[in-house]
Structure 1
Amino acid sequence: MGKRSAVFPAAPHALYAEHGYSPAIRANGLLFVSGQVGARSDGTPEPDLADEVALAFANLTAVLAGAGCTPADVVDVQIFTTDPEAVLPLLFAHHPAYWGDAPLPALTATGVTWLAGFRFELKVVARLPDNGETA
């Protein structure tokens, strides 16, 4: 396997540098995206839950774009939330349209007790355009 190839969005928020991780890594024709939260540019969460979820998806879109991908390239989604009863209805009302045409990606949703001040996080795996290692 070759070296890791990191992907960054055009305007990364502060959490990547603050906590020392890459937004995404390209490997073997796939893009492994770190968990995306509703972080503002300074790394703080959006106070409104709906805005936090929307910003997490916007942050995901920016990371995908950094690799030349779109939400339609996502094949697997993992959702983490500290408040499933509030987040999941909100999520399921809007998320299918985000991914594009069917079939939708595989999805796992998990309730957790801690997300460093956030209530929602999503982690995805996407296929890279033309099964390439670099964008």
Structure 2
Amino acid sequence: MSNVRQVVFPAGRQALYEKNRYSPAIRANGFLFVSGQVGSREDGSPEPGLEAQIRRAFDNLNAILSAAGCSFDHVIDVTLFIVNPEAVLDTLWKVLPDYWGEAPHPALTAVGVTWLYGFDLEIKVVARLPGARP
């Protein structure tokens, strides 16, 4: 098995990732490891408004999943980092069904944090690539 990292870039955002010196996602050994996604516009600035920012984070995530040839249905593990969870969770739970898909849902870990570079939420996932052997 090859341990070579294969980088996945969503359309139109490569310069942002190069500026910040990380890969948006890595394909390795049948899995896709996606870096934490926030509700950032193309220039990296936060989408204004909590619900819009959450939706943009999921849209950014879905762009990476699509670039890798998969969808949220392939996601097996989710980690959410949330600034001020008490203020964010009601809106998050309202938005999730639009992106989460049908049961069985992925494993989930949510962590309250104090700072996310001006964002309210970050979502990090691991997905099994289509056609990968179990």
CA distance in 1 between partners of 2:76 and 2:19 (Å): 29
Tell me the distance in 2 between the aligned counterparts of 1:49 and 1:97: 15
The corresponding residue for 2:58 is 57
Residues in 2 aligned to 1:96 and 1:29: alpha-carbon distance in whole angstroms: 27
5+ residue gaps, structure 2, are none
Contact 1:16 1:23 (C-alpha < 8 Å) held by counterparts: yes
Matched ranges for 1:19-30 at <5 A: 19-30=20-31
Aligned to 1:32: 33
Query: Structure 1 residues 58, 13: CA separation in 2 closer, same or farther (over 3 Å shift)?
Result: farther
How large is the Cα RMSD of the aligned pairs?
Answer: 1.4
Q: CA deviation at 1:41?
A: 0.4
Q: How many residue pairs get matched?
A: 132
How far is the alpha carbon of 1:11 from its aligned partner? Answer: 1.9
| Post-superposition offset of 1:3 | 1.1
TM-score, normalized by length of structure 2?
A: 0.92
Q: Give a deviation string over 1:40-75, Cα, whole Å, max 9, x none.
A: 000000121111101000000000001001011000
Residue matched to 1:109: 110
CA contact (8 A) 1:82 1:120 kept: yes
Segments of 4+ moved more than 6 angstroms: none
Q: What secondary structure sits across from 1:131 in the alignment? A: coil
Matches within 5 A, 1:1-135: 1-12=2-13, 14-131=15-132
Q: Distance in 2 between matches of 1:71 and 1:130?
A: 15
| Alignment CA distance shift 1:48-1:120 (3 Å) | same
